[in-house]
Amino acid sequence: DSGVTQTPKHLITATGQRVTLRCSPRSGDLSVYWYQQSLDQGLQFLIQYYNGEERAKGNILERFSAQQFPDLHSELNLSSLELGDSALYFCASSVVPTGNTGELFFGEGSRLTVL
Amino acid sequence: AQKITQTQPGMFVQEKEAVTLDCTYDTSDQSYGLFWYKQPSSGEMIFLIYQGSYDEQNATEGRYSLNFQKARKSANLVISASQLGDSAMYFCAMRPAYSGAGSYQLTFGKGTKLSVIP
């Protein structure tokens, strides 16, 4: 158990809909990262938050947005869903990296299926 | 930009044998970190081993060792005495150099699917 909690574990929805994925990082971790894993693209970095502020953006579509709340949990919002958005979405957290390896601790993922 | 290349989409190994999973990387950073993660069919990402670019010794964690060749920019994972439970996807990843308030997201390779044969 990594200590990172993601909900829901599975989600099935229709094209055009909007979903919210939730992540609670490990206790004490200030950074939250979101990754998308699809069969053809592999693990793609989407976005990172650090202590409530956006720190870095990767290959995140404009239809997707995220935020990190004062209690450090994070939500990833996916809207106007398309078939190609079907993927496993991971949240990961890490400690402040100084003196640390920078290892990311991953949640179990939220598997999104868009029909 | 950092790039990780894993050239072996799939590998087979006999139970109790050793296997090497290849990983090459590209970066302009002098300081960086290299990781291997395991993803079983259940989907979770499990951290296996870490190597810092300035570490002089190759990292080892139980049956896992990392064959780090800095000049060749390779960071191969060696699994000794393979077990059936080692069947999984294996991902090589890289972290950039630490720089103040930077971002330290990992860049992942495409992965290698390892199948252990009884």
Q: Give chain B's mean pLDDT.
A: 93
What tokens were used for B113? 């699917």
**C-alpha A15: how far from chain center:** 20
| Subunit contact A105:B101, Cβ cutoff 8 A | no
**C-alpha B43: how far from chain center:** 17
Provide CB contacts within 8 A for B25, sequence distance 6+: B2, B3, B4, B5, B34, B73, B74, B75, B92, B94
Label residue B102 by pLDDT band (50, 70, 90): low
B33–chain A Cβ distance below 8 A for any pair: yes
| Subunit contact B47:A103, Cβ cutoff 8 A | yes
Between the alpha carbon of residue A26 and those of residues A32, A43, A94, A107, B91, the distances in Å are 9, 21, 8, 9, 22
Q: What pLDDT does residue A100 have?
A: 67
Q: What is the C-alpha to C-alpha distance for residues B58 and B76, in angstroms, rounded to an integer?
A: 10
Q: What pLDDT does residue B99 have?
A: 66
Label residue B101 by pLDDT band (50, 70, 90): low
Instruction: Indicate whether B3 pLDDT > 60.
Output: yes
Q: What pLDDT does residue A23 have?
A: 98
Tell me the mean pLDDT in the region B39-57.
Answer: 93
Nearest to B43 among A98, A102, A109 (CB): A109
Convert the pLDDT of each residue in A80-101 to its tens digit.
999 999 999 999 998 765 556 7
What tokens were used for A56? 């870095």
> Looking at chain A, which runs of residues are DSSP E strands?
5-7, 10-13, 19-24, 31-38, 42-50, 53-57, 64-68, 74-78, 87-94, 105-106, 110-114
Convert the pLDDT of each residue in B7-32 to its tens digit.
999 999 999 999 999 999 999 988 89
Q: Residues A28, A81: contact at Cβ < 8 Å?
A: no
Instruction: Indicate whether A41 pLDDT > 80.
Output: no
Tell me the mean pLDDT in the region B30-51.
Answer: 94
Q: Residues A99, A39: contact at Cβ < 8 Å?
A: no
